[in-house]
């Protein structure tokens, strides 16, 4: 039997099959140079991929150097996406801080301007020499709001003590210099019993302390939330996540599938694995937002914040008026309690029954405008809506990052990249948080070693939530920061050689034999598959056998 024709046919088939394997790498070369990398060492046609450490091994257009370069690129790009997402939340929080801060200070400044304008007429000659007392009060209020280590109740008590001293001296200016410090100190101690200013100081303190505690804690909460987002957005990837994101984003290019998007569920599993620690912020983050919404709502509760701030001059005018109307009785009781008010035991020239002053204080009345009420309502509504928008930020982040990367098809889509081939993605989607990643098929995660930086930020959220809850009760409580005492190995932090100087996550799945076996059947249909080299070898062997038989 003449086997020559058969040999020729087998040779032609072998050449055709092998020639088909030598696919051009033109698209990959164009893509690679488009990323700004040199084409030195980039193959012109596919090569065997046994050297690949992240991407599936098989015919490929990527060398080891290219794989490492693209892995670093995927890390930088994804870290940039995470930081950018964080910056958008920070920008929103900063905008709400500036808006509320401007509004609150406008209310406070307006209250002070009204006091100065009204008291020039209401107090007459008494106001000018004592204007500094009122300015110091508003200065203390601003300092407290800005976060100064100031006890607001003590500052208000100090204001009334200074005002009492000034009014006692103003009742008879000629004898003012003869009043001893001991007498003034004794008179000040009698205020709780004798109440020279009536109920006005107590009413003002109760409302003013409450609104300033909530306002100060609220802006601190906005600032702290932004700082948490900033720090968490800079937490670097683990090496396992770096591999997973590389496999998700750039391994399709190495397999000649650059135009194929990752399967949606595949991308979500990678993201949920790489952002598992971040998702653990969700509970305390939502708790913080809920509490801040309660605080924001309290600003409009009657009496509203704007009415309380504008009531400062009203309460002071009521207090001074009460003092004037009861001056003789008060002076008599103070003299009985404190004795002679002259210095060094000398008798003061001030008579025991002070003269009534010709002018009395004109009581003030604040009439809130409908415009002010509407503005407060808009302020509260705006900040509340923005806080609600970011309430689910940490558990929505994986899906948000996948929206621009993954295929938009259904879970049954078989024309997307599943980490191994252009085929359907079969594994189910993992839950949120570190504990739910124990069976994540794409990212190897040690769920017993949470990221230390993120655990510290969770503690900061707890501390701030507790401060806000106390603020709602009118309590200004500073909790000790115990975040540095949190246990944890910090294994979530990737080493410098893997993460470089950047601090952000990337796309990609883990590589393992189980994963390779799971998608074995689909690989037969994919160009560049490791199994597609076998037909060429078989035909060559048949050719050699036929030649030997012919001989």
**Structure confidence by residue, pLDDT tens digits, 314-356:** 999 888 888 888 877 877 777 777 766 555 444 444 444 444 4
CA distances from 478 to 227, 291, 455 (A): 18, 17, 20
| Residue 331, C-beta contacts closer than 8 angstroms, at least 6 positions apart | 171, 352, 353, 354
| Residue 275, C-beta contacts closer than 8 angstroms, at least 6 positions apart | 82, 394, 397, 398, 401, 505
Are 53 and 242 a contacting pair, CB within 8 Å? Answer: no
| Residue 187, C-beta contacts closer than 8 angstroms, at least 6 positions apart | 164, 165, 168, 334, 338
Whether cis (ω within 30° of 0) applies to the bond prior to 303 is: yes
| Residue 523, C-beta contacts closer than 8 angstroms, at least 6 positions apart | 56, 58, 420, 421, 529, 530, 531
List the structure tokens of 293.
């919404």
Are 433 and 280 a contacting pair, CB within 8 Å? Answer: yes
List the structure tokens of 338.
């404190």
CA distances from 291 to 96, 113, 390 (A): 16, 33, 14
| Residue 358, C-beta contacts closer than 8 angstroms, at least 6 positions apart | none
Q: What is the distance between the terminal CA atoms of the chain, rounded to a whole angstrom?
A: 11
Match 């002053």 to its residue by tokens: 357
**Among candidates 245, 223, 222, 233, which has minimal Cα distance to 278?**
233
Between 200-232 and 64-122, two packed helices, what is the crossing angle to 10 degrees?
A: 170
CA distances from 412 to 218, 264, 374 (A): 47, 10, 52
Q: pLDDT by residue (tens digit) across 466-488? A: 999 999 998 887 644 434 433 33
Match 């540095």 to its residue by tokens: 484
CA distances from 57 to 48, 51, 53, 71, 527 (A): 8, 8, 8, 16, 12
The helix or strand, by DSSP H or E, that contains position 339, with its residue range, turns out to be none
Per-residue pLDDT in tens (0 to 9) along the chain, 551 residues:
454 544 444 444 444 444 444 589 999 999 999 999 999 989 999 998 899 999 998 899 999 999 999 999 999 999 999 999 999 999 999 999 999 999 999 999 999 999 998 888 777 777 888 889 999 999 999 999 999 999 999 999 999 988 888 887 766 554 455 466 677 677 766 676 778 888 899 999 999 999 999 999 999 999 999 999 999 999 998 999 999 999 999 999 999 898 999 999 999 999 999 999 999 999 999 999 999 999 999 999 888 999 999 999 999 988 888 888 887 787 777 777 776 655 544 444 444 444 444 446 667 777 777 788 888 999 999 999 999 999 999 999 999 999 877 766 656 678 899 999 999 999 999 999 999 999 999 999 999 999 999 999 999 999 999 999 999 998 887 644 434 433 333 333 333 333 333 333 332 333 333 332 333 333 333 333 333 434 444 444 444 445 444 44
Integer Rg of the chain from CA: 38
Query: Exposure pattern of 420-438 as b/e (b: 16+ CB <10 Å)?
Result: bbbbbbebeebebbbebbe
What's the per-residue H, E or C state across 368-397?
Answer: CCHHHHHHHHHHHHHHHHHHHHCCCHHHHH
pLDDT score for 344: 47
Are 155 and 140 a contacting pair, CB within 8 Å? Answer: yes
Domain boundaries, the chain: 100-226+297-341+363-384
pLDDT score for 298: 93
pLDDT score for 143: 95
**Among candidates 164, 165, 170, which has minimal Cα distance to 125?**
170
């Amino acid at each position: 039997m003449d086997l020559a024709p058969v040999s020729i046919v087998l040779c032609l088939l072998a050449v055709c099959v092998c020639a088909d394997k030598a696919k051009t790498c033109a698209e990959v070369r164009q893509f690679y140079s488009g990323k700004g990398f040199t084409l030195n060492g980039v193959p012109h046609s596919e090569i065997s991929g046994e050297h690949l450490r992240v991407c599936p091994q098989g015919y490929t257009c990527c060398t080891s150097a290219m794989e490492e370069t693209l892995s670093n690129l995927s890390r930088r790009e994804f870290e940039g996406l995470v930081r950018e997402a964080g910056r958008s939340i920070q920008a929103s929080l900063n905008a709400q801080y500036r808006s509320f801060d401007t509004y609150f200070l406008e209310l406070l400044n307006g209250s002070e301007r009204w006091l100065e304008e009204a008291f020039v007429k209401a107090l007459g000659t008494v106001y000018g020499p004592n204007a500094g007392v009122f300015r110091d009060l508003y200065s203390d209020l601003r300092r407290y709001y800005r976060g100064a280590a100031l006890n607001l109740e003590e500052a208000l008590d100090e204001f009334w003590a200074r005002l009492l001293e000034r009014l006692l001296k103003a009742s008879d200016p000629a004898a003012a210099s003869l009043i001893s410090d001991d007498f003034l100190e004794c008179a000040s101690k009698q205020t709780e019993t004798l109440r020279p200013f009536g109920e006005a100081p107590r009413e003002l303190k109760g409302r003013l302390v409450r609104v300033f505690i909530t306002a100060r804690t609220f802006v601190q909460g906005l600032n702290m939330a932004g700082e948490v987002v900033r720090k968490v957005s800079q937490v670097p990837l683990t090496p396992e996540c770096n591999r997973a994101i590389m496999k998700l984003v750039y391994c399709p290019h190495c397999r000649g599938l650059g135009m194929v998007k990752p399967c949606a569920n595949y991308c979500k599993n990678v993201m949920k694995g790489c952002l598992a620690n971040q998702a653990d912020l969700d509970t305390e983050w939502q708790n913080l937002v809920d509490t801040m919404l309660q605080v924001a709502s309290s600003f409009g509760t009657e009496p509203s914040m704007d009415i309380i701030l504008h009531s400062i001059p009203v309460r002071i005018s009521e207090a001074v008026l009460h003092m004037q109307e009861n001056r003789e009785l008060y002076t008599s009781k103070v003299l009985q309690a404190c004795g002679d008010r002259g210095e060094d035991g000398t008798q003061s020239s001030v008579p025991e029954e002070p003269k009534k002053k010709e002018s009395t204080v004109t009581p003030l009345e604040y009439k809130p405008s409908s415009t002010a009420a509407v503005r407060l309502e808009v302020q509260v509504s705006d900040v509340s809506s923005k806080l609600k928008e970011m309430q689910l930020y940490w558990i929505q982040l994986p899906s948000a990052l996948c929206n621009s990367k993954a295929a938009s098809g259904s879970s049954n889509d078989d024309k997307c990249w599943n980490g191994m081939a252009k085929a359907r993605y079969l594994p189910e989607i993992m839950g949120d948080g570190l504990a739910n990643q124990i069976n994540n098929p794409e990212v190897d995660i040690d769920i017993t070693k949470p990221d230390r930086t993120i655990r510290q930020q969770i503690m900061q959220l707890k501390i701030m939530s507790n401060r806000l809850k106390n603020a709602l009760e009118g309590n200004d409580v500073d909790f000790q920061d115990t975040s540095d005492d949190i246990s944890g190995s910090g294994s979530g932090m990737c080493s410098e050689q893997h993460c470089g100087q950047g601090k952000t996550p990337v796309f990609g799945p883990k590589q393992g034999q189980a994963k390779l076996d799971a998608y074995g059947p689909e690989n037969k249909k994919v160009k560049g598959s490791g199994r597609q080299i076998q037909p060429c070898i078989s035909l060559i062997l048949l050719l050699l056998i036929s030649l030997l038989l012919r001989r």
